[in-house]
Structure 1
Amino acid sequence: MPYSIMLDAGHGGRDPGAVYNGRQEKDDTLRLTLAIGEILQNHGLDVEYTRTTDIYESPYEKAMEANNADVDFFVSIHRNSYPTDNTVSGVETLVYDKSGIKLKMAEDIDEQLESVGFVNLGVKERPGLVVLRRTKMPAVLVEVGFLNSDTDNTLFDNNFDDIAQAIAAGILDTLEVEHNILPAGYTVQTGAFRNQNYAARLENELKSQDFPAVTIQEDGLYRVFVGSYTTLDDAADMERRLKRAGYQTLIVST
């Protein structure tokens, strides 16, 4: 059976969460949570949500919802805040205590978000938080940058897709789920990068032109592939299309 996970978009409804220059935490968390969920579903996870619209549920209700659904993991998405504006920036992930698989998931998520460009403030223990204390399954709460940091907001807005991918990748790393799997045959490689951001940009560029691109991490590199083909002739046809579009190519067997 696939892993199941409850994703929680922090705050909602009458509770806006942090507010800064008209920006509300509840809006950022909902948009990001839905994007993360879509990625995880595409990788075979059974995803449920505490909310998919702008409604209010108490932290206790969210914890009970996860318990009643009997999911394997609980991940709550938030934006942070600091008493003075533009003083602190970065990401941190909160856990009930630093033990077990929840600690690994928190560390994996923070590491992936650091690769996007956030300052990594590390994993913090917060045993008083209801969604971490009352959930029966491993639970983490991700603070995706400070809402009252212009630096973090710019990073959040300009790299939204990469951030969703990073959080999903951190979860998948913990569960040791392959980020992408290509069946046996042939594919066309269009790039190999040490920086995940460069691979993500190329993948998105290819997809915008209707090329079926995916990124796979292997041997310390993020490799961007287009298509999966059972015959060499079909792979060669795609290679010619990509070359005409101006891309460097390499046919590889899978």
Structure 2
Amino acid sequence: MPYSMMLDAGHGGRDPGAVYEGRKEADDTLRLTLAVGEILQNHGIDVLYTRTEDVYETPFQKAMEANNAGVDFFLSIHRNSFPTDNQVSGVESLVYNLSGLKYQMAQDINEQLESIGFVNLGVKERPNLVVLKRTKMPAVLVEAGFINSDVDNNLFDKNLDSIAQAIAEGVLDSLDNAGVIRDSDYRVQVGAFRNRVYAERLLAELMELDYPAYINDDGPYYRVQIGSYQDLNEAAEMERKIKRAGYPAVIVK
């Protein structure tokens, strides 16, 4: 059975969330959540969403959706705000309490986002938030930068794919370290680099061709890979497609 997660894009519909110079939190969270979900699905995670369009549900409804679906984990993605514009920047994650897998995952996500260039404001305990309190599974709420910080907005707009990758890698690292998932499936590797810039360049090329590529940085190299296949034949089919497109490819586990 694959591990399952409910991804929640904060706010939506009649609730735009925080607004800064016409920019709506609900729009940013939806774009980022869908990008994170695609990466997690490519790694074999069974992903469900509280919303995939601009609609409104109460936090309680979202928590109940996750409970009724019986998912293993709940991840809510938001953007932060501060009373004074351009005074505070950075990412933080919120959990019901500072213990267990949820706390480790929140820390891993923050560390990955810090590598993108965000200030790491740490993990905070928020036991009164409905999506953290009423969900029956471990839950994390990620504040992906301050929407009224020009610094954070610039990072967000220029690095959306990398931010999504960072959040997904934080999730996957914590699950793997906890023994929840194991890296045993077949993957198609297209390149391995010591310099992340070269890996990101190849990643952009492959994504432009609609290949579900990602960067695996578990080890001394930045490895550009595609998929997570339990069936060797499926991996071999993708390997042939990549080679026909003019790229070197090899199946790895």
Shorter-chain TM-score range: 0.7 to 0.9
The aligned runs of 1:127-142 (5 Å cut-off) are 127-142=127-142
Q: How far did residue 212 of structure 1 move?
A: 8.2
Q: Give the whole-Å Cα distance in 2 for the aligned partners of 1:32 and 1:56.
A: 17
Q: Give the TM-score of the pair, scaled to structure 2.
A: 0.83
The aligned runs of 1:20-169 (5 Å cut-off) are 20-169=20-169
Q: Give the whole-Å Cα distance in 2 for the aligned partners of 1:25 and 1:212.
A: 26
2:189–2:223 contact (8 Å) kept in structure 1: no
The worse-fitting range, judged by mean Cα deviation, of 43-52 and 93-102 is 43-52
Q: Give the TM-score of the pair, scaled to structure 1.
A: 0.83
2:6–2:49 contact (8 Å) kept in structure 1: yes
The worse-fitting range, judged by mean Cα deviation, of 154-163 and 50-59 is 50-59
1:187–1:229 contact (8 Å) kept in structure 2: no
2:39–2:214 contact (8 Å) kept in structure 1: no
The worse-fitting range, judged by mean Cα deviation, of 114-123 and 220-229 is 220-229
Q: Give the whole-Å Cα distance in 2 for the aligned partners of 1:150 and 1:116.
A: 16
Over aligned residues, Cα RMSD in angstroms? 2.9
2:132–2:139 contact (8 Å) kept in structure 1: yes
Secondary structure of the equivalent of 1:61? Answer: helix
The aligned residue for residue 193 of structure 1 is 194
Q: Give the whole-Å Cα distance in 2 for the aligned partners of 1:238 and 1:57.
A: 45
Cα deviation, 1:191-236, whole Å, max 9, x if unaligned, reads 41354x6523331124436788653334232123689769xxx8xx
Secondary structure of the equivalent of 2:217? Answer: strand
Q: How far did residue 178 of structure 1 move?
A: 6.1
1:43–1:179 contact (8 Å) kept in structure 2: no
Code of the residue aligned with 1:84 in structure 2: it is T
The aligned residue for residue 245 of structure 1 is none
